[in-house]
């Protein structure tokens, strides 16, 4: 008899995409707005209150050709 288990996990990726076309790039105010909304969504997804600090790697920032992307992922065991 085999001695192992298995699981299936569903991953949800939430992204906020801020246009950053050259030569101007992205405005700091637009990055700030997207960051605030992403942080609020992260807190809701993980049941955290406003005062609880986030881990340094809670949100990830990626640079695409013409955008800055803020994202986080959540994993849920599949039924």
In the chain, alpha helices (H):
28-46
CA distances from 16 to 2, 21, 24, 25, 37 (A): 44, 16, 19, 16, 8
- For residue 20, the model assigns a pLDDT of 96
Q: What are the mean pLDDT values of the chain's consecutive 10-residue runs (79 residues total)?
A: 89 97 94 97 94 92 96 89
> Cβ atoms within 10 A of the Cβ of 26, count?
16
Burial 57-70 (b: 16+ CB within 10 A, else e): eebeeeeeeeebbb
- pTM score: 0.83
- At 18, list the tokens: 């801020």
């Amino acid at each position: 008899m085999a001695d192992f288990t298995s699981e299936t996990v569903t991953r949800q990726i939430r992204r906020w995409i801020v246009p950053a076309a050259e030569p101007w790039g992205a405005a700091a105010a637009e990055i700030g707005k997207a960051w605030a909304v992403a942080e609020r969504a992260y807190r809701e997804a993980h049941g955290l209150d406003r005062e609880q600090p986030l881990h340094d790697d809670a949100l990830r920032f990626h640079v695409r050709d013409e955008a800055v992307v803020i994202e986080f992922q959540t994993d849920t065991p599949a039924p």
